[in-house]
Amino acid sequence: MIVVQSIAECRSQCDRLGPLALVPTMGALHRGHLRLIELAKEHARHVAVSIFVNPTQFGPRDDLTKYPRPLGKDLQMCREAGADLVFNPTVAEMYPDGAGGIVFDLPQLSRVLEGEFRPGHFAGVCQIVAKLFNIVRPASACFGEKDYQQLRILTRMVEELNWPIEIVPCPTVRDADGLALSSRNQYLSAEERQRALAISRGLFAAREEFTGGVRQAERLVATVRNALSALPIDYVAVVDAMTLQNVQKIERPAVIAVAARVGSTRLIDNVILRS
Ligand code: PAF
């Protein structure tokens, strides 16, 4: 496995490897990322993983400085998972003139849900992913459905910009008890982790109601809110899977999306509803 830090070196190694699938990450890898790497291997002969904690997607209240950076362990996991190349640039390499620069805006998709609570977050995500796409020039790129809004926005960005890159969605990977895997789970104490299970329980209960025929978004939201009654909630919403706009009656694929706080950790999760 090749590890590169400079853009020039990354470009030349990617050219040498040929068609690639890219797994963009911020490190602190877990089984969810390993699943992304596996999926990437099904889509291309070679797999590149980027590990970069992107400052432009963190807001002033976010956890940029305390975001975990276990690089040695991450590289080991990439190696064992069969990645061919890891791109691990510095902030100065990616943003030599500071973090300003180009701003991507897909307002309809990015101002709702997370966008209301983390203004500018998706502009930062689009900025870094666009840069990574231009450096690595992958044939495909894999993103988890756990960050459903991010996946939807990046898919739209690629369509809008006519990039010849296939965006490959990967179903959310969960622990046996239902908790969606996230690098942020490591901030949870054992007791907080137990409380966090209310999120997936609520979502699964609502999905069962949907499977049982319930189509009123209000009822599904009430079920999730009920399960989360002990947690401060940022939002529980039923949105159209393509437009991310709120729906009242589910007639097309939809997503129940949740953001809630467990102690000082903010967690997001979702389930996708398809009849
Ligand atoms: O999902 C993430 O880990 C990040 O938002 C991403 C896509 C790697 C961009 O920094």
- Give, using CA atoms, the residue closest to atom 9 of ligand 1: 125
- 203-236 confidence digits (pLDDT tens): 999 999 999 999 999 999 999 999 999 999 999 9
Give the pTM.
0.97
Cβ count near 171 (within 10 Å)? 12
Is the pLDDT score of 115 beyond 90? yes
Which pLDDT score is estimated for 101?
79
φ, ψ at 188 (rounded to 5°): -80, 135
d(CA 26, CA 36): 13
Is the pLDDT score of 102 beyond 90? no
Which pLDDT score is estimated for 175?
98
Which pLDDT score is estimated for 198?
98
Please state the rounded mean pLDDT for residues 251-272.
98
d(CA 231, CA 178): 17
Strand order in the sheet with 265-273: 233-240, 254-262, 265-273
56 lines ligand 1 (CB under 6 A): no
Which pLDDT score is estimated for 110?
97
Which pLDDT score is estimated for 4?
98
243-257: burial string, b at 16+ Cβ within 10 Å, e else = ebeebeebeeebbbb
The one-character DSSP state at 55 is G
Distance 160 CA to ligand 1 centre (A): 20
- 143-196 confidence digits (pLDDT tens): 999 999 999 999 999 999 999 999 999 999 999 999 999 999 999 999 999 999
Which pLDDT score is estimated for 122?
97
Please state the rounded mean pLDDT for residues 32-61.
96
- What's the chain's length in residues? 275
φ, ψ at 115 (rounded to 5°): -60, -30
Indicate the average pLDDT of the chain: 97
Confidence of residue 98 (pLDDT cuts 50, 70, 90): confident
Question: β-pairing, 254-262 with 233-240?
Answer: antiparallel
126 lines ligand 1 (CB under 6 A): no
Distance 125 CA to ligand 1 centre (A): 6
Cβ count near 267 (within 10 Å)? 22
- The amino acid at 11: R
Which pLDDT score is estimated for 62?
81
Cβ count near 211 (within 10 Å)? 10
Distance 241 CA to ligand 1 centre (A): 20
25 lines ligand 1 (CB under 6 A): yes
Taken in order 20, 21, 27, 29, is the CA torsion positive or negative? negative
33 carries an active-site annotation: yes
Which pLDDT score is estimated for 275?
86
Q: Which of 236, 237, 233, 224 is nearest to 262 (CA)?
A: 233
Please state the rounded mean pLDDT for residues 30-37.
98
Helix axes 121-136, 7-17, angle to 10 degrees: 60
Cβ count near 161 (within 10 Å)? 12
Nearby residues of 129 by Cβ (< 8 Å), 6 or more positions away: 24, 141, 154, 157
- Give, using CA atoms, the residue closest to atom 8 of ligand 1: 25
129 lines ligand 1 (CB under 6 A): yes
Which pLDDT score is estimated for 227?
98
Closest ligand 1 atom to Cα of 54: 10
